[in-house]
Structure 1
Amino acid sequence: MAVPALRRGLRTLGTLLITLSAISPASSVFVIAPGVLTGAGSGAFYSFVAAAVVGVFMAFVYAELASAFPLAGGEYAITARTLGRLPGFVVLGIMIVTQVLILAVIALGVGTYLGVLIPGLSAPVAAAVTCVVAGLVAVFDIKLNAWITGVFLAIELLALAVVAALGLLDPVRPFTELLTQPVAADGGPATVGAIVVATSVAIFAYNGYGSAVYFGEETQDAGRGVARAILLALGITVLAELVPVTAVLLGSADLGALFSAPNMLSHFVTERGGGTLDTVVSLAVALAIINAVLAIVLISSRLVFSSGRDRAWPAPVNRALAKVHPRFGTPWVATIGTGVVAAVLCFVDEQVLLVVTSTAIVVVYAALCLGAIAGRRSGATAHARYRMPWFPVAPVLALAALGFVLYQNARDPEIGRPSLLVTAGIALLAVVYYLLVRRRRGGWVLAEPVTEEPTAPARPDGDRS
């Protein structure tokens, strides 16, 4: 039986556009960054810088692993091939739950910002409709979707440039104050512990640059193109998020009023630019969130499709999820199903969604770091067209940073500790399902999709040419 194959219709630019749209810097700044500000106050600057350092380490790890295994299954497909099938299935369990939940979390921001134009708009209803429509649009050709996301991405980057200009062109406080006197949201000094806990949220705000790997089976020259897309996506994301957040902290007249505002970024834009500008920026952010939902549906559906192709579920479910549209070459059942499930989850309490997704990505990052080390030792990644510099510095330092973040989260009784417990619960359920169901039914089959012709091996210090 032939392995279901996706159409290879993307170049590196198209993969980069979808990846950046999934990260959605504007959504991260307007929807996720307030959580960092609430937790760390003006110390959020340090949280975003620390998250960027972790991001550099992880981008190197992602780039090498994605170059070796540019597969639609993403992190779980990589982990299964470097650490073994059971760890890979655990990562699949964590990713397939959290990825769709993240989609719902992002979509809920649509109602918040469209509410500026449509008073009384129900956020869950707006989010659910957005998810369903995105699921239908995502069925179309991947190249068309890349251009759609690219247009919306340009709009959101322009909105972020406006926010940055509002704060940086006429700052209220000097930059040195952020460095030497960071204050908490309650007015006291920002503690190291609070800044570190907020760093896990900042990591989540940057997260998504590794998502380029999900389009590895649809990207031409994937072994090199996907690695480049990952590294470029991280660099652009850090600039697009860190600069506006810094501008808000420097340009806000009253940090206490900023931190207590129901919508911090809207409060800042109104304060510095007036209500009309806030309305225009809010519309741009709503479009950015809609764009992010579309991009994340594209990503999540590849994960779901791959899980069906790898026979992770009962046979009828696997056959349905692995179906590829005969005209568009896209996983149409997995795509529509992802949109519908995410729409239902939009009606779940948002705090529950945040708890479930908060630390899961940290655990997945740790698995990839271990996979990068194991892949080098076993030779599993020897064919990668990109090799990270200074190995094993990046995975080792990333593991150290991730361990510290997990430790600080374990001390946080509000979100951090509950999130760790939920992530552990999901991992345990995945282990039980794998041992009692998948292994007893002939094992978990990792399908080998059709790949491009192999090319020359990589130089030890980076890209192959």
Structure 2
Amino acid sequence: MPGPSSSMSAASAPKLHRGLKMLGTLLITLSAISPASSVFIIAPGVMTQAGSGAFWSFVIAGVVGVFMAFVYAELASAYPLSGGEYAIVARTLGRLPGFVALGLLLVTQLLIIAVIALGVGTYLEVLFPGLPGPLVAAVTTGIATVLAVFDVRVNAWITGVFLGIEMIALAVLTVLGLFHPARTMGDLLAHPVVATSAGVAPASAGLIAAASAVAIFSYNGYGSAVYFGEETKNAHRGIARAILWALAITVAAELIPITAVLLGAPSLAELFSAPNMMSYFVTARAGPTVNSVISLAIALAILNAVLAIILITSRMVFSTGRDATWPRAASRGLAAIHPKTGTPWIATIATGMLGMALCFANKDFLLVMTATSIVAVYAALCLAVLAGRRNGSTAHAAYRMPWFPLAPLLALAALVYVTYESALDPAVGRPSLVITVGIGVVSVVYYLAVLRRRGTWELHGSNER
């Protein structure tokens, strides 16, 4: 809690405007997850790693998601703050763990903007060959940044329209696969295969488990509803409902079309070796015209996802300014709220500009940087909900998960296993774990050498109950 050395009293701390209802928060949250972007951009990475075993990777990730949704819902109902996970961890486990979570999230969220935006060029290239991918991604991020400065209710409406378009694209993908199956569900379940130089070979349980880390990343975002806690009416109850609904809709919207693609692909070997797996599938089943229409829909879905992620990330960046994380002038600027739109406009512009710059980084580097950091954040949240029940810091939560402490304990067990399997993967998993640890170490050093010594890092937020 803020102490005597606070540079900004709770009364004077900038406050966001409560203009959202639960539905608006849900629409932005689902748009940030962007099931279509996950299916068309992230799922191919899981298939490259686990082959048709990607089905089981997404099932494992879905189970972990259910556990984590319970954890998120309880914690967010206690602390529906724009700082999101770091604000929660800092209030339940302590400031140092909270700042480590902030370090991981800042890097991950900014990189996710670029990871998603780079997909725009991939799908627009179907219509306009030769487009420079990084430049298209940066322009997309710039457009999304301009939109993100407007009133959050306007953005809820915009994201809702685009979300409907991407759901239609996923429905088409599902129909193409389920109505023209090339293999049985039993074969998919019992005999997963992975690509090899000679075609395909049986996929091992280790590969499937390691790929589930990326699948978890694909579902990730349902907890992002908490970032709008200070802009949502009746947030202590509404945010928990938004999180649970977002997880349920996301799992269905991603797992069903992915299953349809794996069942309906004419050749798994050709699918796994295709430069653009989903374009290969759609073209093989419906022809180039349908593929062009779907590609345009996915490009719009990606723009929508970038917009929603900028909205989310800018709230966290705003919160870091309000909590005096940076030098005084920078913190004051990031904490500024536009008098007309009621949005953290400087934090939004700063977020967008960093996202634009990262669009020119290597995509494989971006994926390695983000692959396992979310696992560490999930583990911190599991420990936070256990600590919150024990020390009473979440006693005021409006939502209580069923069967406590089963969900956080099972989620922790699954996360430990995923981490172990990731450590055995020399291509993506192990380098990503090393980077995650490195970010954590840098965060600890900054906190101890700068923030604790300066004594000005304070935790501000809404006092609404």
Partner of 1:158: 168
The answer to whether residue 25 in structure 2 is matched with residue 12 in structure 1 is no
The answer to whether residue 142 in structure 2 is matched with residue 129 in structure 1 is no
The correspondence for 1:281, drawn from 281, 294, 298, is 294
Q: How many residues matched?
A: 452
The correspondence for 2:462, drawn from 450, 453, 457, is 450
**Unmatched 5+ stretches in structure 2:** 1-8
The answer to whether residue 416 in structure 2 is matched with residue 403 in structure 1 is yes
The correspondence for 2:311, drawn from 298, 313, 316, is 298
Give CA-to-partner distance per residue, 1:289-329, whole Å, 9 cap, x none: 00000000000000000001001111111001000000011
Give CA-to-partner distance per residue, 1:322-343, whole Å, 9 cap, x none: 0000001100000011001100
Partner of 1:340: 353
Q: Aligned partners of 1:397, 1:127: CA distance in 2, in Å?
A: 38
Partner of 2:240: 227
The answer to whether residue 280 in structure 2 is matched with residue 267 in structure 1 is yes
Partner of 1:30: 40
For residue 394 of structure 2, give the secondary structure of its aligned residue in structure 1: coil
Q: Aligned partners of 1:399, 1:443: CA distance in 2, in Å?
A: 33
For residue 185 of structure 1, give the secondary structure of its aligned residue in structure 2: strand
Give CA-to-partner distance per residue, 1:350-408, whole Å, 9 cap, x none: 11111110000000000000000000001110101000000000000000000000011
The correspondence for 1:354, drawn from 359, 367, 376, is 367
The correspondence for 1:64, drawn from 63, 74, 82, is 74
Instruction: Please say if residues 81 and 462 of structure 2, whose CA atoms lie closer than 8 Å, have aligned partners that are also in contact.
Output: no
How far does residue 443 in structure 1 lie from its aligned partner after superposition? 4.2
Partner of 2:450: 437
The answer to whether residue 404 in structure 2 is matched with residue 391 in structure 1 is yes
The answer to whether residue 191 in structure 2 is matched with residue 178 in structure 1 is no
For residue 386 of structure 2, give the secondary structure of its aligned residue in structure 1: helix
Instruction: Please say if residues 217 and 451 of structure 1, whose CA atoms lie closer than 8 Å, have aligned partners that are also in contact.
Output: no
Percentage of identical aligned residues: 66
Q: Aligned partners of 1:161, 1:39: CA distance in 2, in Å?
A: 25
Q: Aligned partners of 2:153, 2:14: CA distance in 1, in Å?
A: 19
How far does residue 444 in structure 1 lie from its aligned partner after superposition? 1.7
Q: Aligned partners of 2:254, 2:61: CA distance in 1, in Å?
A: 11
Q: Aligned partners of 2:195, 2:258: CA distance in 1, in Å?
A: 15
Q: Aligned partners of 1:427, 1:450: CA distance in 2, in Å?
A: 28
Q: Aligned partners of 1:167, 1:438: CA distance in 2, in Å?
A: 54
Instruction: Please say if residues 152 and 343 of structure 2, whose CA atoms lie closer than 8 Å, have aligned partners that are also in contact.
Output: yes
Instruction: Please say if residues 18 and 150 of structure 1, whose CA atoms lie closer than 8 Å, have aligned partners that are also in contact.
Output: yes
Please say which of residues 180-189 and 47-56 is displaced more in the overlay: 180-189
Give CA-to-partner distance per residue, 1:50-79, whole Å, 9 cap, x none: 000000000000000000000000000000
Partner of 1:461: none
Report the AA paired with residue 326 of structure 1: P
How far does residue 16 in structure 1 lie from its aligned partner after superposition? 0.3
Instruction: Please say if residues 43 and 183 of structure 1, whose CA atoms lie closer than 8 Å, have aligned partners that are also in contact.
Output: yes
How far does residue 226 in structure 1 lie from its aligned partner after superposition? 0.4
Instruction: Please say if residues 33 and 202 of structure 1, whose CA atoms lie closer than 8 Å, have aligned partners that are also in contact.
Output: yes
Q: Aligned partners of 2:180, 2:149: CA distance in 1, in Å?
A: 46
Report the AA paired with residue 289 of structure 1: I
Instruction: Please say if residues 317 and 334 of structure 2, whose CA atoms lie closer than 8 Å, have aligned partners that are also in contact.
Output: yes
Q: Aligned partners of 1:116, 1:167: CA distance in 2, in Å?
A: 21
Partner of 2:4: none
Partner of 1:204: 217
For residue 409 of structure 2, give the secondary structure of its aligned residue in structure 1: helix
Q: Aligned partners of 1:127, 1:97: CA distance in 2, in Å?
A: 18
Report the AA paired with residue 450 of structure 2: V
Partner of 2:127: 117
How far does residue 170 in structure 1 lie from its aligned partner after superposition? 2.1
Q: Aligned partners of 1:147, 1:251: CA distance in 2, in Å?
A: 35
Superposition TM-score, scaled by structure 2 size: 0.97
How far does residue 98 in structure 1 lie from its aligned partner after superposition? 1.1
Which segments of structure 1 move beyond 6 Å, counting only runs of 4 or more? none
Superposition TM-score, scaled by structure 1 size: 0.97
Q: Aligned partners of 1:413, 1:341: CA distance in 2, in Å?
A: 29
Q: Aligned partners of 2:183, 2:143: CA distance in 1, in Å?
A: 44
Report the AA paired with residue 56 of structure 1: V
How far does residue 450 in structure 1 lie from its aligned partner after superposition? 3.2
Instruction: Please say if residues 47 and 198 of structure 1, whose CA atoms lie closer than 8 Å, have aligned partners that are also in contact.
Output: yes
Instruction: Please say if residues 128 and 344 of structure 1, whose CA atoms lie closer than 8 Å, have aligned partners that are also in contact.
Output: yes
The answer to whether residue 106 in structure 2 is matched with residue 93 in structure 1 is no
Partner of 1:459: none
Instruction: Please say if residues 168 and 251 of structure 1, whose CA atoms lie closer than 8 Å, have aligned partners that are also in contact.
Output: yes
Report the AA paired with residue 429 of structure 1: V
**Unmatched 5+ stretches in structure 1:** 455-465
Q: CA RMSD in A?
A: 0.7
How far does residue 410 in structure 1 lie from its aligned partner after superposition? 0.8
Q: For residues 32-51 of structure 1, what are the structure 2 equivalents within 5 Å? A: 32-51=42-61
Report the AA paired with residue 67 of structure 1: S
For residue 413 of structure 1, give the secondary structure of its aligned residue in structure 2: coil
